Every structure is written in C-alpha cells, then in structure tokens.
Amino acid sequence: MGAKPFTNPRGTRDLLGENLVLIKHLERTASMVAAVAGYQEVRTPLFEETRLFKRSLGEASDVVEKEMFSVPRRGSEGAEAMAKGFTFRPEGTASTARAYVQGGFAASAPLQKWFYIGPMFRYERPQKGRERQFNQFGVEAFGAQSASLDSEVVGIAVRFFQELGFDDQLEVRVNSMGDAEDREKWSQVLREFFAEQMQGSSERCADCQSRYTRNVFRLLDCKSTRCIELNEGAPNLFAVMGDAAASHHQQFIACLNNLGLKVIDDPSIVRGLDYYTRTVFEVHYPPLGARSALCGGGRYDGLVEEMGGRPTPGVGFSVGFTPTELALAELNLPAAADLADLRQQLLPQVYGVAVSDEQRDDLFILCEKLRRAGISVELDYRGKSLKAQFKEANRSGARWAIVLGDSENENKQIVLKNMQQKTEQIIAQDDLLAALKDA
RNA sequence: GUGGGUAUAGCUCAGUUGGUUAGAGCACCAGAUUGUGAUUCUGGGUGUCGGGGGUUCAAGUCCCCUUACUCACCCCA
C-alpha cells in the first residue's frame, strides 16, 4: 500500500447501489409530480456569484453568515476577492429568480412554473439528516399572486410525499409573514414587547438574547419551555397586517381546504431567509416526532425585484432528500414494488459462461452482439473456472445463462439456460437473440 | 463555532485486573474423481489495533495530544 488512502470530504457521500436506487426514485417521483402540475425543469449552475445569495437570503441569515461554500475570484486580492467571488448554491430559489430575470420572462411570458432537482451545498457540521452536499427538489412559480397558486405549490409538495407512500397523517402547517411593511411594523412591536425580557436578569435563554437583535421573529419559535411561556401574549402579526395580505392568507387556507389537505395554523413558523412574504408553510408528518418537518416553502413577492427585475410575485418550496430518506427509512418506505424496476436495471439479463478458455473469445463476441441489440449481458473477465462462472451467474441475478462449450461452438450452437427453472436447451447461435427476445 | 460518544480485518464486533504469535461471524479467494449454481466440507487472515508521544520489564488495553467519524446544540432541507 502506498500513501494514506483518500476519503470523501466531510458531509458528502458516494451514492451507489441501493442508495442510488432510492435517490433515483426520489428524483423521478419529484419530476413526475411537478410535471403533471405543469412545471418545467430548470437547471441552473451549481455556483453563482456570492453577491446573489447575500442579496436574496439576507446578509444576516445564518446561511450567508456561516454556511456558504465560497471561492475567491482570481485576479483580486483578500476581501475583495471573496466579495467578488462565487458560492456553491446553498438553495435553489435565488438562482431560479436570477434566471427568471435574466431570461427576460417578466416581459415575454411572466407566468413561469419551474422545478429543479439537484445538489445544494452548505458548509456546516454534518449531523443526522444533514449534509454539506445534499440533493434538493424544489418548485418555483413566478408571475402570479393568486392564493390558488400558493395552494397548488403546497399540493405538489404533499403529492410528492403521498407518492412515496406517506399516508393521510401528512399535514400542512401554515402561517403568514405579511407584506414587507407588515413585517417592519411587526418587528417594531415585537421589539417593544420583548424589550423588558432582554434586561439583565432575564429568564430568556441566551439564544433568544442574541436573536432579539439579529431576527426578533425567531424568539417565537424558541423550543425552550420557559421561553415558550414568555412568548404568551406576544403581539400577533395579523394584528398589524394589511388587508391585502390578510385576505390572501384566508384565501390560501380556503384553497388548501378545497384540496382536502389537513391544514394547521401555526404562528411559530418563521422562515429564516429574508425573502419570504405572506405565505409560509411546512409539510409535516407527525409520527416522525421531532423530525416531522419534511419540507418548507412560501411566497417571496419581493425577491424578483430584489434581483433587479420587474416587481414579480413568486411562491415555491424545497424538499431536502436527506431528511426525506431518513423519514422513509423510519417508515419502511418506499414499498419494494416501487423500486423493483430500478433494482432490475442493476442486474444483467444474461450471463455468459465459457466452458473452457478456448471459447472465451467467441463467447465475448456473442455477448457483444446481444449488447448491441439492447440486452444487458455480463460475463467473467478473471479466468474463473466453470463452476465459479456459474456462481457468478447466480449471484449476478441474471435470468439467463448462455453456456458455450467446445461441442456447441463447433456446431454454431449454444446452451441457453433458465437460471430460475434450471432448464437448458441447445439452440443455434443465430437464433439466440430471437429466443431471448421471445422469452 | 460549542459539547458528548466512538475508533481493532472489506462489514458487524469480541479482546478479562496491562502479560506469549490479536480473534469470531459474515463477506471474499481456492479446492472437493475435469461440462453447471444451493447447502456442506477443506484450506487461505486479507490488520500500521486511526496517527503521534508518554508510563511500564511488558500497551489493543493506562495517560496526554491529534485526526477522523458520529450524535446533539446553533440553524436548517
């Protein structure tokens, strides 16, 4: 052995075999539910200008403050190089909004419904259900402010989980962040309300103390029991919310009810990213307990303008595959039948066996012929004995073995063996392809 | 960034109050009257005991440092 072996970077995985089967199933399920709702796939670059994320997510968001995978721009030095540099996308909404603006859709075709599936990157300490590179499925709809669009987006998220086998305990928790002006007002009254709790002898936890200045809204979803008590009587956003946002929220809930979804008003849902306005929601599966949150999203009516485009409303969500995989494992999902075809693709249909070394070349030629006809064929490359080749054939999961011996080869024939039924027949080599296709 | 746990074969793990040549199961490789899969049988250990230092006659075992993994917090998908 040479040098120390390399290992994958922290928070990443090599996907192969059974894990890859599951990921592929998630991907196809995602694109199916998005496509039937009329959403088009979009593939944006894996990295963008760092400025893009700072602008869209907010300088003070945790993602921007400490979770960005950034690289400096060449030709510049120090802080300027980082400021002008690039960042591996930590989420998908900013990129799609950028693509929307750049593509000139606001003028040509303002209503755009897009989805994406792909890797995202966050530079944080990995733990259960969290990775530095993870796959995400997301949906973004630009150009309409109708509450029915909000509910359509929620419906896609729910459908995704239903297709994966989650039952009707799935629920949608909703809240509203109001419009920008509403949030400004609300943040002021919240600061006033919590001001006395921030005094020296406060019972408030240390985290809340720092949240007070960074993002007051977060005090509301603190999990500390004492803090929850102290949140009693805190001003409600709906008290200061404008009529437009308030009625949008009511319509949104009405639409969800029309879709037959289980809806729960949850004022503690406060998204961490700056761009959310009005609708925010999470899809939960309560049997999962502490990890019941499967997906989050909401409306971002100011984002496109923030990206330099015309004022354009938008709404979307994203699902991380990592927590989804965790949830599926806990629930013994998906059903084996859902994965059967993907698993089948990993197996060869035919395994080629050479009785002795003299037949190996001819066998290889025959196998290649089958492959060119679209039949997957595996065979031995390591000079294994006949017995060992059959062992391999058995282990490979191939339904058929083709066995080439001296006597058959002389007569341009070959043995076709059904591995399950253990039956064999000798057929002409020219008839092999037809025989396999018939079977 | 902060805290806890773990680290022995490809995998899952044993390894006693420190004591001879470090083990098991699974997996893997080869063979069991020369043209056939399971089971069985036989043979094969594939290892820098994460790395470095220390204590000791003696360290996988005790101490220190370090790295990696993992879980939790923060936050989030």
Give pLDDT tens digits for A102-115: 999 999 999 999 99
**Rounded mean pLDDT of A254-268?**
93
**Distance (Å, whole) CA A318 – CA A375:** 38
**Rounded mean pLDDT of A278-299?**
93
State which residues between 326 and 355 of chain A bring their CB within 7 Å of strand B: 355
Query: Is the bond preceding A9 in cis, omega lying within 30 degrees of 0?
Result: no
- Judge if the beta carbon of A319 is closer than 7 A to nucleic acid strand B: yes
**Is residue A282 located within the same domain as residue A424?**
no
Q: Are A200 and A211 in contact (CB under 8 A)?
A: no
Q: Does A13 fall in a domain? A: no
Q: Does A343 fall in a domain? A: no
**Distance (Å, whole) CA A116 – CA A41:** 6
| Last-in-domain residue among A291, A316, A337 | A337
Q: Does A327 fall in a domain? A: yes
Give distance CA A180 / C1' B38 (Å). 70
- Judge if the beta carbon of A220 is closer than 7 A to nucleic acid strand B: no
**Is residue A167 located within the same domain as residue A231?**
yes
pLDDT of A1 higher than 50? no
Instruction: Specify the pLDDT at position A184.
Output: 87
Instruction: Specify the pLDDT at position A296.
Output: 94
State which residues between 41 and 60 of chain A bring their CB within 7 Å of strand B: none
Instruction: Specify the pLDDT at position A438.
Output: 86
**Is residue A30 located within the same domain as residue A115?**
yes
- Judge if the beta carbon of A294 is closer than 7 A to nucleic acid strand B: yes
- Judge if the beta carbon of A124 is closer than 7 A to nucleic acid strand B: yes
Give distance CA A5 / C1' B17 (Å). 38
Q: Does A102 fall in a domain? A: yes
Other residues' Cβ atoms within 10 Å of the Cβ of residue A349? 18
Give distance CA A293 / C1' B27 (Å). 38
**Is residue A32 located within the same domain as residue A82?**
yes
**Is residue A35 located within the same domain as residue A93?**
yes
**Is residue A79 located within the same domain as residue A126?**
yes
Give which of A307, A379, A382 is closest to A97, Cα–Cα: A307
Q: Are A244 and A279 in contact (CB under 8 A)?
A: no
**Is residue A300 located within the same domain as residue A251?**
yes
Q: Does A4 fall in a domain? A: no
pLDDT of A172 higher than 60? yes
Q: Does A320 fall in a domain? A: yes
Q: Does A206 fall in a domain? A: yes
**Is residue A151 located within the same domain as residue A240?**
yes
Q: Are A70 and A82 in contact (CB under 8 A)?
A: yes
**Is residue A326 located within the same domain as residue A398?**
no
State which nucleotides on strand B lie below 7 Å from a protein beta carbon: 1-3, 28-32, 35-38, 48, 68-77
Q: Which amino acid is at A50?
A: T
pLDDT digits (tens, 9 = 90+) for A7-39: 888 999 988 888 899 999 999 999 999 999 999
**The residue to which tokens 């006395």 are assigned:** A196
Q: What range defines the domain where residue A108 resides? A: 18-337
- Judge if the beta carbon of A283 is closer than 7 A to nucleic acid strand B: no
Instruction: Specify the pLDDT at position A5.
Output: 73
Q: Are A147 and A252 in contact (CB under 8 A)?
A: yes
Q: What CATH number does the domain containing A288 carry?
A: 3.30.930.10
- Judge if the beta carbon of A163 is closer than 7 A to nucleic acid strand B: no
Q: In whole numbers, what is the pLDDT of chain A averaged over residues?
A: 91
- Judge if the beta carbon of A130 is closer than 7 A to nucleic acid strand B: yes
**Is residue A391 located within the same domain as residue A329?**
no
- A3: nearest nucleotide, CA–C1' criterion: B48
- Judge if the beta carbon of A295 is closer than 7 A to nucleic acid strand B: yes
Radius of gyration of chain A (CA): 29
- Judge if the beta carbon of A279 is closer than 7 A to nucleic acid strand B: no
**Is residue A282 located within the same domain as residue A399?**
no
pLDDT digits (tens, 9 = 90+) for A219-243: 877 767 777 778 888 888 888 999 9
Instruction: Specify the pLDDT at position A187.
Output: 86
**Is residue A252 located within the same domain as residue A385?**
no
Q: Are A353 and A389 in contact (CB under 8 A)?
A: yes
Confidence of residue A2 (pLDDT cuts 50, 70, 90): very low
**The residue to which tokens 């017995």 are assigned:** A387
Give distance CA A419 / C1' B42 (Å). 28
**Distance (Å, whole) CA A252 – CA A114:** 20
Give distance CA A62 / C1' B6 (Å). 30
Instruction: Specify the pLDDT at position A53.
Output: 95
- Judge if the beta carbon of A362 is closer than 7 A to nucleic acid strand B: no
Name the domain count of chain A. Answer: 2
Q: Are A271 and A248 in contact (CB under 8 A)?
A: no
Give distance CA A89 / C1' B52 (Å). 39
What ipTM was estimated for this complex? Answer: 0.86
- Judge if the beta carbon of A323 is closer than 7 A to nucleic acid strand B: yes
